[in-house]
Amino acid sequence: MYFVAGATGNVGSQVVRKLSESGVGVKAQTRSSTGGKVAELQRLPGVEIVACDLMDKAGLAEALQGVKAVFLVCGNAKEQAQMEINVIDAAVAAGCTYLVENGTHAGYTNKDSPVEFGRHHWEIEEHLAKSAGAMKWTVLHANWFMSNHLGDIFGTLPNGAIVYPLKPEDKAQLVDPRDVGDIAAQMLLDSDPSKYHGLHLMISGPDVLTWSQIAALYTEELGRPIEMATCSEPEWVAAAIKGSGFEHWLAEAAAHNFKVIRDGGFLHTTSPQLLALAPPRRTMKEWIAEWAPRSPPPPAAQ
Ligand SMILES: NC(=O)c1ccc[n+]([C@@H]2O[C@H](COP(=O)([O-])OP(=O)(O)OC[C@H]3O[C@@H](n4cnc5c(N)ncnc54)[C@H](OP(=O)(O)O)[C@@H]3O)[C@@H](O)[C@H]2O)c1
């Protein structure tokens, strides 16, 4: 039996899908037992929905009984460190043999990070390294998620643009979070996870793209011009709060990613062990082909 925390999210849902496909049993954790994403997971063979808040230590202790290995991801939240630490402690107490944790950008995962969730991830990883006992563990550090571009789809594309505090030539090696999920599931299913024990592994997608190339892909897919427009960081933060419903602290923290991109910090490749295991293959062109048609039309066409 496997346990996936954050099972309704971008990465966790794919881990559940892949584990289910391989024929093992999966406990899929979510805070709510209703909703479309839960219903989708519930339909998968071998999947049991576990409705449990990650702050509920007693609920986690019960949910982790009989579990062999754990995938741990949580959306960025003020209580993220405590929630993930609760899962780690419950996994150790239940005698789980392996845990894969979804980290963030390694470059800002530290105690004094200017990025609040970078400090949360540091606290989680410190706790994991110190408290895992006999349980093997691995931390994954993924590149800029393609799903960060949902703001283009539902926000700026109808106005003919993607808008970021970046120059058109700034670039990253974006990754589809489903590729991160595929890798994590393979690691959990590995007969000898000790070869990944204690490692911090990097994951990137197959292509390096500039923001002007991303705009060109939208142009090609939608058949109308989409330009790459540069805004200031405060403008991006304001739009993320108003348009995407980000809390202020999270928008400020997420905006730091643009400095990292400008400095070339999202050009890392995938760790060789993971390229051998399940090389990320999904491209931004494919992601755009999947999502751009769901973007509302320009105002004049409505
Ligand atoms: N975005 C990027 O470019 C990027 C890159 C590398 C790493 N990361 C890291 O990846 C993680 C996010 O992964 P993801 O996109 O798969 O996660 P996600 O989809 O944002 O969230 C995963 C699940 O966590 C639960 N959740 C969300 N917000 C929560 C909150 N405030 N309190 C408690 N639970 C909450 C939700 O489940 P329920 O509602 O069903 O309970 C959600 O489905 C973060 O730790 C982030 O730092 C992100």
The whole-angstrom separation of Cα 178 and Cα 61 is 28
Residue of 32, 40, 54, 76 with the most ligand 1 atoms within 8 Å of its CB, for mutation:
76
Q: Is the CB of 257 under 6 A from ligand 1?
A: no
Ligand 1: distance of its center to the CA of 108 in Å? 17
Q: Residue whose CA is closest, atom 12 of ligand 1?
A: 75
What pLDDT was estimated at residue 301? 62
Ligand 1: distance of its center to the CA of 102 in Å? 10
The whole-angstrom separation of Cα 128 and Cα 1 is 21
Contact call for residues 292 and 156 (beta carbons, < 8 A): no
Residue 296 CB coordination number (10 Å): 12
What pLDDT was estimated at residue 302? 57
The whole-angstrom separation of Cα 142 and Cα 121 is 13
Ligand 1: distance of its center to the CA of 105 in Å? 14
Q: Which of 154, 150, 145 is nearest to 73 (CA)?
A: 145
Q: Which residues of the chain have pLDDT under 70?
A: 301-302
What pLDDT was estimated at residue 300? 75
Domains in the chain, please, with CATH?
2-146+174-203 (3.40.50.720), 147-172+206-265+282-301 (3.90.25.10)
Ligand 1: distance of its center to the CA of 5 in Å? 10
The whole-angstrom separation of Cα 19 and Cα 83 is 23
The whole-angstrom separation of Cα 64 and Cα 5 is 11
**Positive/negative CA dihedral, 141, 277, 285, 173:** positive
Ligand 1: distance of its center to the CA of 75 in Å? 2
Q: Residue whose CA is closest, atom 31 of ligand 1?
A: 77
Task: Return the beta strands (E) in the chain as ranges.
Answer: 2-4, 26-30, 47-51, 69-72, 98-102, 136-142, 161-164, 171-172, 199-203, 209-210, 227-230
Contact call for residues 177 and 75 (beta carbons, < 8 A): no
What is the maximum alpha-carbon separation in the chain?
62
Parallel/antiparallel/unpaired status of strands 161-164 and 171-172: unpaired
Token digits for 205? Answer: 């997608």
Determine phi and psi for 7, rounding to 5 degrees. Answer: -70, -20
